[in-house]
Structure 1
Amino acid sequence: MTTKLHNTTTNELRSAFLEYFGENGHRIVPSASLVPQNDPTLLFTNAGMVPFKNVFTGQETRPYSRATTAQKVVRAGGKHNDLDNVGYTARHLTFFEMLGNFSFGDYFKAEAIEFAWTLLTKGYGLPKEKLLATVYSEDEEAAELWRKIAGLPEEKIIRIPTSDNFWRMGDTGPCGPCSEIFFDHGPDVWGGPPGSPEEDGDRFVEIWNLVFMQYFENPPGTRTPLPRPSIDTGMGLERFAAVMQGKRDVYDTDVLRSLVEATADALSTDPDGPLRASHRVVADHLRSSAFLIADGVLPAKDGRGYVLRRIMRRAMRHLQRLGASEPVFYRLLPALIRQMGSAYPELVQHQSLIAETMRGEEERFTALLERGMSLLEDETARVPEGGALPGAVAFKLYDTFGFPLDLTQDALREQGRTVDVDGFEGAMAEQRARARAAWVGSGDSAAETIWFDARERLGASEFLGYVSEKTDAEILLIARDGAEVETAGPGDEVAILLNQTPFYGESGGQVGDRGVLFADDLKVEIHDTQKRNGDLIVHYGRIVEGTLRRGLSVTAEVDHARRQAVRGHHSATHLLHESLRRHLGEHVAQKGSLNAPDRLRFDVSQPRPITAEELALVEQEVNARIRENSAVETRIMTPETAVAEGAMALFGEKYGDEVRVVTMGRGDEGRVAYSIELCGGTHVNRTGEIGPFRIVSESGVSAGIRRIEAVCGIAADRLAIETEERLRRMAELLKATVSEAPDRLAALVEEKRSLERQISELQKRLATGQADAASESVNGVTFIPRDLGDVAPRELKNMAEAITRQIGSGVVALISTADGKGSVVVAVSKDLTERFNAVDLVRLASAEMGGKGGGGRPDMAQAGGPEPKADAVFAAIRAALSA
């Protein structure tokens, strides 16, 4: 393999890297999701080794000991956050690709250095004289290997004594020295080699980092050699492409430059003009946004969704600077897909969803931007020349208008101003705490130690529930109060592992099974089943009778009726998903589900409410597919084959080497079936078993997410019976037939409204008539107290205003005792508000009725209380007027 310097595309560089290591015994592993599946402490996948973290720690095994990947990475939140620098430097990106090769106890330093040197000098054709290496100062072995394998002279092997060249996974765990490979741009570029005072210059650029994982860091800070040393490497594709294409700026490489030019073309602006940084921000953020959405992240107020929103809005702000007056961001997506769609098919598969999400967010943000920028301009005008914008104002922009701090900083940077970040952080402290709570622990959480230990000792649980609801099994583990025990007795709440089980562990939205374990003189009621540590099925139950012992043989039996109802709702969800996509568009994607025995709940990406007409069409189509009574088939295949055959996969879900592909409904439009999905749940054998399907409700969950609740089978029959009974009772009360009831009810409602209007008018006339006759003089002030009985409280203000107009000057107090409660309104004519405040008077009245205050204006206020004591209220007001 030989390439030519300055004449290689980014796609060719990526392919060459993977092919090289594939030819050298490495499994080419597709990029994992940007949402980590094995580390709840990470916001996003921020390094190439993250998907293999549990392999390095020994918590997970793979069927290969060598791997190579081109891993998509985002650094835009948490500890690893490059967001603020993006667009203003030659190297910083929020999204980038990390090329890597990994050895899990297979080869070590010599082979890793050999692979790297051979690929760089022979594969990519980099001149040897342009390369140098760093090693950890104590790692003489690595230094000797660089001399021996690469022939590097001593002056090109730089010893680094700091932690920069010693990698740790954490305070404890695998660790080891690093060795970095640098490219020398030549003496005409300012900068010095690593470790020198001028190391921050651009002459020497790091292109590859090799981590020699050879120790285990113990809690006291001591290290012990690992029995199987491993290799973890990373080479940033964009930085390497800059070297290979003769550039010093990643934004000048082919992929990013094409995105910069796409923005320039869309807005007819100069990509290298005064707003050059804005073009670069948009190019980078376009990649981050598209890939995050493809992996299941959507804009939100906290967590990962909040970071995505920050990225998107920052890009949109820069598009505004470039002259955009309407949504533009989503129109740049085709340019990205042309560059990266072949390497990352999720961009193509989710193109519609990505575009819909981008356009909807830009439309919302544009409306906020105008108001937010107006406030920013007003507040900035109050800040002295050279002063920082107060943190409280920056927080208000965030809290009211959704402006992230960095967007405010960007806007002020144009004026040479800064923000009081400490003040902002103080105001944001509570929100940040909630945001952290929202994302820490998402994904596959690290299971309790007991289940990690059990997985190592006992292996995965064998699930037989696809074909059986009853089986014999052996008790492998009993846990009580979080600890393993040998036996347990009646009344004990326990968690149980079996060697094989028909019980389904809750996952994929399907609730866990219930049922019973029994043997001679033993009965355990299982009230829940959960998955732990990935593939352990844990049964939670209560011992009703007998003694449970480890090693005991039992019969495990699932609650058949409940399972039948659950799998009916799960199967109906598949048909619902496909019907929604056909009627609303391919942007519809599952964002959450619940499949329970009594209902299903299905959350989907959808930017607007679903109309009643659309819901009716969806429901009709699902029922038509159910009536086909077609076979529901399951096939086992690789994820790649499944997707190639049209199966719907959820990006962000963790799929193994083999997946279950569930098909149902007759195929049309060239498809083998109506619905084709990757799914590990349990389903009906034929669609007819689902029974009738009814949509119960549709509602919004968050921006861009709609929720549908529905029922099927027995639950739908029950709903129909209850609905018919309610209609029968309503018709009976209306003295009409069921078919006549709607018209009769409509007539009664209109009649009631007419009567209410008449009554209200009569009450108003009665209340306001002869105001002078009902008045009294208190301390020289005209006072009119009236107890209006059952008059609706909402009418009191209008009546008080009318009486006040009649008398010209005075105080009016009106009480309603409707529904056995007190409601009082006090009105004070304008000429008396300097002496008497209606709010103060009404609060005195409220206290007499057992209430807790009231509110309003100085001339009109209202309050209430549970005790309608009119005389006491009027007495309290008279006393206040007399004071």
Structure 2
Amino acid sequence: MYAKELEQSFLDFFVSKNYREVNEISLIPKNDDSLLFTNSGMVQFKDIFLGLVKPEFEKAVTIQTCIRLSGKHDDLENIGLSPHHNTSFKMLGNFGFVNINKSVVINEAVEFLVDRLNLDFTRFHVSVHQNDLESRNIWLKTIGIHESKIINGSDETNMWSMDNIGPCGYCTEIFYKIDNGELLEIWNLVFIQYNRTGDKLLKLKNVFLDTGMGLERILSIKQKTYDNFDTDIYKPMLNVLLLFFKKNGPIDKSFRILVDHMKTSVLLMKENVLPGNDKCNYVLKKLIRRAILAKNKIGVNYKLYQIPDDFFFLIDKCIGNNLAVVREVLKLEEKKLLDTVRFATGFLKKKISSSKNVTSQDLFKLYDTYGMPFDIIKKLTSKYKINFNINEFNSQMNKQINLSKNVIRTADIKLNKLLLKDLHKTNFRGYGSATCESSILCMIFDNVIIDTVFQNQTVIILTESTPFYPEKGGQVGDEGVIICGENIMNVFDVQEIDNKILHYCYVVNGSFKVNSLVSLKINKSKRLGCKRNHSATHLLHSVLKKVLGPHVKQMGSLVTDKYLRFDFIHFSPLSNNEIISIENMVNDYIKMGIKTYVTSYFDENKNETIRTIVIGDKSISSELCAGTHVKNTRDIFFFKIFKEYGIGSNIRRIEAGTAYNVIDKLLLSENTLANIISETKSNRQDILENLKKLLLKNKSLEKENAKIISDLISYQLRSSDNAILIKDIKLYILVKDNDYLKFVHKFVNDKQKLIVLYYFEDMGYIKLNLVLSKDLNYINLLGIVNELEKYFPVKGGGSRGILKVSISKNDCTDINGITDKIVSYLSSSI
């Protein structure tokens, strides 16, 4: 049985048992900051288990692609060592939300494994919580498993929970005894039947079902390989690598890490995740770099981006245009890793040559800040005989993890979703109307439901219907007013949670009560600006693909009434000619007056209406979008790019505007240009040529000025008889009227046994710069800062033979006292 056949068999079996087949969700969970990745099939049903959402069906069956690379589910270090672990895998799951019967569920699981997959029942073992007598009796009396094959579990092994409080329940796990005698866990059946409150377990009115079985594991049993990497999921990929690398084997740890990490990396890039330094992006960067190291250990000179197409199509048969992006990302990451290794090697050599200790903090910085893989750090420390204290390194790691957790928690201050669980979804009427009348269903103040709100209070309002568009899909929420007679509320923000639209309001006049009939009116001007910019964003996206290539993929957007912002994958800055071409093409579409229309259908699996915005025919633009748009491109008037710049690895950002916002910018630019023309005594025809001449002249004058300053500093030092001798080192103290650091450094750098200390006053501060000749770089400049800090507050620091510090004149007016302390420190430390 092949993987696809097993998947279909699982779905068919549970559909025959009246389970609803539900599509899988994205690998990056939406509206759930507690998870980096979708790590189980139950993620999409989490709000049902929490009681926040009412289920549309009683039972569901899914096949969910999962990634386990964060939190308590992190399998990274097991990859390559264990034949049963992968960073990404498919989870077969069946779920129940109403009237779950444990006996029926356990019977269904055994029936599928024995009758559909023909597994040997005599090899079954199960684990049961020691207090879950009901499950134990079902296995013994109904299923007929021998008591010796039941493993008694504890809270640690057989009590499932989302968190320290909330829904939880006993689980029973099914194990299969494979040929080597190992018990391999294949299926976990979780019965969510309690609510944990502190140290108490309160029985829920309803029992929920959450099960999960790893496709790769059960497939390895069915195919009798007992090794995920020998199944038809991974074996074809490994065969492609063996052929390409011209290797006969063996399939060792390095091959397994390489194929696993490449598969997961491609799946993440399909979700628009790119390597970076934050959250999912950091995990992807780490995976790719580990894959590069694994490839190097195999002993081949090929780069990851050179691996044949067949390999990538085995991961994702629909990879298509994304393959160019994947290859470019892999190419850049391999280059960056090489640059990082060179930097780290130089960093460590410099530390060693200057007789400085390499601390655990230094090594952790290479790992955490610069993305240096742990294996390379160990190799370098061994090569340069650096003491590597693994305990101190792990301590730094734990500190960073705790810091990250705290950042997420402090940023995650949101409305308590439980307050909304009994409310129906809001009827949004804003696509066709700017106003409507509706009744107030709920008012929330400071996370408490209230009946009345008074003047000058801020409140969250939920109504039965609304014309207010909530912030989503990159488009900001509407603004406007809610009115009831003489009573007025300003709506300053609109959000959406679980299809319920929340109006964030400030009561300007009077008071409001629950169940009052109110008029809701949006700010039409703001909405029109958003519509123009949103439609322009779709045109921009389409044109970018045409001008730059099919690799362009949206990575984020922001649509306001004032401007639009669009982030996309591209591997170099846009040239002026490219920007002009993009603007011209978008404006051509605007001038053509192309109609915009909407197509939509109801997706039963997602239980929502899927909306597509089409501009002209689909060759111009067709995108899934819930936002608001103009009816004709002519209504956009005009499009102009204000800025284009990079915001991360391989990600560019365009800021642009439309209509009157562009006119305002153009008028400002026109006024600036008029002032330049006036100041340079030019006309429009020759202004550019005149500016070029001025810049050349200025450059020439700067060069002359630099030479004069350098000659002056050189003369002062050569002719001065005031050198202070510290052993055989000369120290000169100069008073300057400005910051001439680069000139002093240029003069001192190639000399021997020379120190120059000069100072000047600037903006209420005494600023001191100290420069060492190259041969004196061993002097600890930070020691000078520490010495000065004993007497007054000091800003600044030192590195690479240069010290720069500032001291407020309010803290010290005696410059001689400062220089004396510096000289005294140098005399005692050299």
Class of the TM-score when normalised by the shorter of the 2 chains: 0.7 to 0.9
Is 1:678 matched up with 2:624?
yes
Q: Which has the larger radius of gyration?
A: 1
Give the alignment of 1:192-271 within 5 angstroms: 202=182, 204-224=183-203, 226-271=204-249
Question: Following superposition of structure 1 onto structure 2, how do residues 553-568 of structure 1 map, counting pairs within 5 Å?
Answer: 553-568=517-532
8 A contact 1:690–1:712 mirrored in 2 = yes
Deviation of 1:853 after TM superposition, in Å, equals 8.5
Q: How does 1:262-281 map to 2 (within 5 A)?
A: 262-272=240-250, 276-281=252-257
**Alpha-carbon contact 1:785-1:874 (below 8 Å) kept:** no
Aligned residues: 811
Contact 1:839 1:854 in 2 (8 A): yes
The answer to whether the aligner puts 1:659 opposite 2:606 as a matched pair is: no
Name the counterpart of 1:384.
none
Q: 2: CA distance between counterparts of 1:762 and 1:86?
A: 64
Residue from 533, 551, 566 that aligns with 2:515: 551
Out of 541, 555, 560, the residue aligned to residue 505 of structure 2 is 541
Q: Does residue 464 of structure 2 align to residue 486 of structure 1?
A: no
Are residues 463 and 756 of structure 1, via their aligned partners in 2, closer, same or farther at CA, if it must alter by over 3 Å? same
Q: CA deviation at 1:303?
A: 1.7
**1:396-475 map, 5 Å:** 396-399=365-368, 401-405=370-374, 420-436=389-405, 448-449=415-416, 451-456=417-422, 458-475=423-440
CA–CA separation in structure 1 for the residues paired with 2:57 and 2:446? 38
Equivalent-residue separation in structure 2 for 1:423 and 1:841 (angstroms): 28
Partner of 1:570: 534
Per-residue deviation, residues 495-538 of structure 1 (Å, max 9, x unmatched): 2222211111112211111111223212222222222x332222
Displacement, 1:241?
0.7
- The CA distance in 2 between the partners of 1:23 and 1:877, in whole Å, is 88
Q: Which residue of structure 1 aligns with residue 491 of structure 2?
A: 526
**Which amino acid in the other structure matches residue 435 of structure 2?**
K
Superposition deviation, residue 817 in structure 1: 8.6
Q: Which amino acid aligns with 1:454?
A: L
- Structure 2 matches for 1:13-28, cutoff 5 A? 13-28=6-21
CA separation of 1:465 and 1:448: change in aligned 2, threshold 3 A: same
Distance in 1 (alpha carbons) for counterparts of 2:237 and 2:723 = 81
TM-score, normalising length from structure 1? 0.80
Secondary structure of the residue that 1:539 maps to in structure 2? Answer: strand
CA distance in 2, matches of 1:90, 1:460: 47
- Contact preservation (8 Å) 1:394, 1:405: no
Alpha-carbon distance in structure 2 between the residues aligned to 1:85 and 1:360: 27
Task: Name the CA shift for 1:329/1:853 in 2 (closer, same or farther; >3 Å).
Answer: closer
Residue 324 (str. 1) matches residue 263 (str. 2) = no
Change (3 A) 1:678 1:733: same
Aligned to 1:254, the other structure's residue is in SS state coil
Q: TM-score with structure 2 length normalisation? A: 0.85
**Is 1:353 paired with 2:353?**
no
Question: Secondary structure at 2:656's aligned position in 1?
Answer: strand
Please state how far the C-alpha of 1:785 moved relative to its aligned partner: 9.4
Q: Any stretches of 5+ residues in structure 2 without a counterpart?
A: 353-357
Partners in 2 of 1:876 and 1:42 — Cα distance? 54
> Contact 1:495–1:540 (CA<8 Å) still a contact in 2?
yes
> Does the C-alpha gap of structure 1 residues 392 and 556 become closer, same or farther in structure 2, counting only changes over 3 Å?
closer
**Are the equivalent residues in 2 in contact too, given 1:286–1:329 (CA < 8 A)?**
no
Q: Report the alpha carbon displacement of residue 89 of structure 1 after superposing the two structures with TM.
A: 1.8
Q: Distance in 1 between matches of 2:128 and 2:736?
A: 91
Correspondence for 2:544 among 555, 559, 580: 580
State whether residues 458 and 506 of structure 2, in contact with CA within 8 Å, keep that contact through their aligned partners in structure 1: yes
1:461-499: CA deviations, max 9, x gaps? 221111111122222223333433322333222222222
Q: Tell me how far 1:826 sits from its aligned partner.
A: 8.5
Note the C-alpha offset of 1:799: 11
Contact 1:797–1:825, Cα closer than 8 Å, also in 2: no
Q: For 1:720-742, what per-residue CA distance to the aligned partner results, in whole angstroms no more than 9, with x for missing partners?
A: 11111111111122222122211
Task: Pick one of 288, 291, 305 that aligns with 2:281.
Answer: 305
Q: Is the 8 A contact 1:524 1:545 kept in 2?
A: yes
Q: Deviation string for 1:424-479 (max 9, x for gaps)? A: 1223345334443566699xx79523x532341x3112211111111222222233
Q: CA deviation at 1:130?
A: 3.9
After superposition, the C-alpha distances for 1:402-424 in whole angstroms (9 at most, x for unaligned) are 1244675799999xx99744211
Paired position in structure 2 for 1:296: 272
Residues 63 and 90 of structure 2 are in contact (CA less than 8 Å); yes or no, is this contact kept in structure 1? yes
- 1:797 and 2:773 equivalent? no
Q: Name the SS for the 1:315 alignment partner.
A: helix
SS in 2 for 1:607: coil
Matched AA of 2:514: R
User: What is the CA–CA distance in structure 2 between the aligned matches of 1:410 and 1:776, rounded to whole Å?
Assistant: 51
Q: 1:194 maps to which residue?
A: none
- Indicate the percent of aligned positions where both proteins have the same amino acid: 29
Q: How does 1:167-186 map to 2 (within 5 A)?
A: 167-185=160-178
**Matching residue's letter, 2:667:** I
Shift of 1:108: 2.0
Question: Matched residues in 2 for 1:54 and 1:795: separation?
Answer: 61
Q: For the residues of structure 2 that align with 1:503 and 1:59, how far apart are their CA atoms?
A: 23
1:152-172 deviation digits (Å, cap 9, x = unpaired): 353465252423234333333
Identify if the C-alpha distance between structure 1 residues 376 and 560 changes in structure 2 by more than 3 Å, giving closer, same or farther: same
The 8 Å contact of residues 140 and 147 in structure 2, kept in 1 or not, is answered as no
The 8 Å contact of residues 26 and 67 in structure 1, kept in 2 or not, is answered as yes
In 1: Cα distance, 2:419 partner to 2:697 partner: 72
The separation in 1 between residues aligned to 2:706 and 2:349, in whole angstroms, is 50
Cα deviation per residue 1:688-739 (whole Å; 9 max; x = unaligned)? Answer: 1112111111112122222111111111111111111111111122222122
Question: Residues 479, 214 of structure 1: CA spacing in aligned structure 2 closer, same or farther, 3 A cutoff?
Answer: closer
> How far off its partner does 1:318 sit?
0.4
Matched with 1:383 is: none
The residue type paired with residue 21 of structure 1 is: F
- For residues 326-405 of structure 1, the aligned pairs below 5 Å read 326-328=302-304, 331=307, 334-338=310-314, 340-341=315-316, 347=319, 350-369=322-341, 372=344, 391-392=360-361, 394-399=363-368, 401-405=370-374
Partner of 2:23: 30
Deviation larger for 519-528 or 674-683: 519-528
Distance 1:838 1:121 in 2: 74
- The question of 1:598 aligning with 2:562 is answered yes
1:745 Cα deviation from its structure 2 partner: 1.9
SS in 2 for 1:223: strand
Q: SS in structure 2 opposite 1:526? A: strand
Distance (Å, rounded) in 2 between the aligned partners of 1:575 and 1:283: 39
Q: Does 1:476 align with 2:468?
A: no
Q: What is the deviation of 1:880?
A: 11
Alignment partners' CA distance in 2, 1:331 and 1:129: 44
In the alignment, residue 569 of structure 1 is paired with which amino acid? N
Task: Supply the RMSD in Å over aligned alpha carbons.
Answer: 4.7
Which among 675, 681, 684 is matched to residue 729 of structure 1?
Answer: 675
